[in-house]
Structure 1
Amino acid sequence: KGIFNTWDECKKQVIGFKDAKYKKFETLQGAKNFISEVEDLEIDIKPKDLEKLDNLPKDLMISYVDGSYNIKTKEYGCGVVIFTNEGKKTLSKKGTNEEYSKSRNVAGEILGAVESMELALEMGKKTLKIYYDYRGIEEWALGNWKTNNILTKNYKIKYDNIKKSLKVIFNKVEAHTGDKYNEEADILAKKSVGIE
């Protein structure tokens, strides 16, 4: 893949390759946007059974996140199911910020998203696909919802800093509809706060 200045340069790269995608652009930015869209399509991996997938791109991490809240203990936590080219990992973590706990399970949802982003950066990934069941994960990050408390404001700031180094693609899944990895993240989130 690449940007070429002449048709001769381009055809050396595309002729003879099945399903090659190429296009002429008036501006360099238009060409860059096209490549970005094609890259998004390339990583449109169907999450049906990721454990059987052994060829994830090296720069990609996929995570399923969920949050939970224990009313008795007033604790929030997250569950995360992670897939990379190195295989599957899981994370179950309790949050410790008392102010955040006022937002109950939403604090756990956000904790899961942030943990995923930070782990992707630590692992040197370039792209993270986050599957979530609570819409705020995407809406606050992208600025579509107003950040009206310390939790959501800090999440937006964190995302804005992370997106400079990591492309985050958000994917909504329906809660409790049998999505294998979303259900697993839900169990891990409950476990983090002592709910069996």
Structure 2
Amino acid sequence: MAGKNFWVICIDYQPKIYEGPWGKSIQDKTKGSQFYRGFTSRADAEAALNKLRDLDIEHVPAKVRQNVEEKENNLQNGQVVVFTDGSFKNSTGKQAAGWGYYGKYKKNDEINPLEDHGNVKGKGARQVNGEITAALNAVQAAIDLGLQKVDLYCDFWNLMLWDCGFYESKKEVSQHFVNQMKNLESQIEVHFHWSPGHTGIPYNEKADELAKRGFDEA
């Protein structure tokens, strides 16, 4: 934390810049935050804040449901709204993670479901592997269908924070996600949205169900 005097802290789902050295005042703010990061200069902090402003982090389930319904009702040809999720149960001893996605897309003036599920096997496969695979596969599926725009909803903060560069992708699994997603984003327009999980949002619940099915099938 040494040398960091500017902090972008998301409190009550509103990211702002706070100034000061790492100490009790800053620590107290981060304890009640959704996410945060420290910077050595105000310019870097403002650049990070600008990236976050492009993200949708609506946290009220009713509003998320309303927003999704509006997007579905106003789908244009070449667009898709899709929710992604991962699944992992530590108690089973399985070396695998499940993934799933569910949404709707419009092509040739017809609205169709977009869904799939599966699993990632191997030592070290955990929840994050499922989350990453679901997102990458959903975007790839949209590309394969010849679509042009994806509204991608996930209930795992890190995906969109890695993608926009707010979180540094230090580990191999996050570096893989960033590299693969950047490649996909060169082929299709992707807009990230955060969705609170397990709150009765239909698409989110369906993606969760599919991810669990993928894990069970591993």
Q: Do residues 75 (structure 1) and 80 (structure 2) align?
A: no
1:153 matched residue in structure 2 = 175
Per the alignment, residue 190 of structure 1 pairs with 212
How much does 1:82 deviate?
A: 2.3
Q: Unpaired segments of 5 or more residues in structure 1?
A: 1-36, 38-44
The amino acid that maps onto 1:59 is G
Number of residues of Structure 1 aligned to a counterpart in Structure 2: 147
Larger radius of gyration: 1
> Partners of 2:209 and 2:70 in 1: how far apart?
18
Q: Deviations over 1:152-172 (max 9, x none)?
A: 101101111111121110111
Q: CA RMSD in A?
A: 2.2
- Equivalent position SS for 2:88: strand
Q: Name the % identity.
A: 23
Give the Cα separation in 2 of the matches to 1:136 and 1:128: 18
**Partners in 2 of 1:119 and 1:90 — Cα distance?**
9
1-structure distance, mates of 2:71, 2:164: 27
User: Structure 1 segments of 4 or more deviating over 4 A?
Assistant: none
Paired AA for residue 85 in structure 2: D
Structure 2 residue runs of 5 or longer lacking an equivalent are 1-53, 55-65
Cross-structure match for 2:81 = 62
Kindly state the Cα deviation for residue 183 of structure 1 after the two structures are TM-superposed: 0.9
Q: Could you tell me the TM-score, scaled by structure 2's length? A: 0.62
Which residue number in structure 2 is paired with residue 5 of structure 1? Answer: none
How far did residue 143 of structure 1 move? 1.5
- How many Å separate the matches in 1 of 2:136 and 2:105? 17
Amino acid at match of 2:98: G
1:57-136 equivalences under 5 Å are 57-71=76-90, 72=92, 73-85=94-106, 86-99=111-124, 101=125, 104-136=126-158
The alpha carbon displacement at 1:56 in A equals 2.2
AA matched with 2:114: K
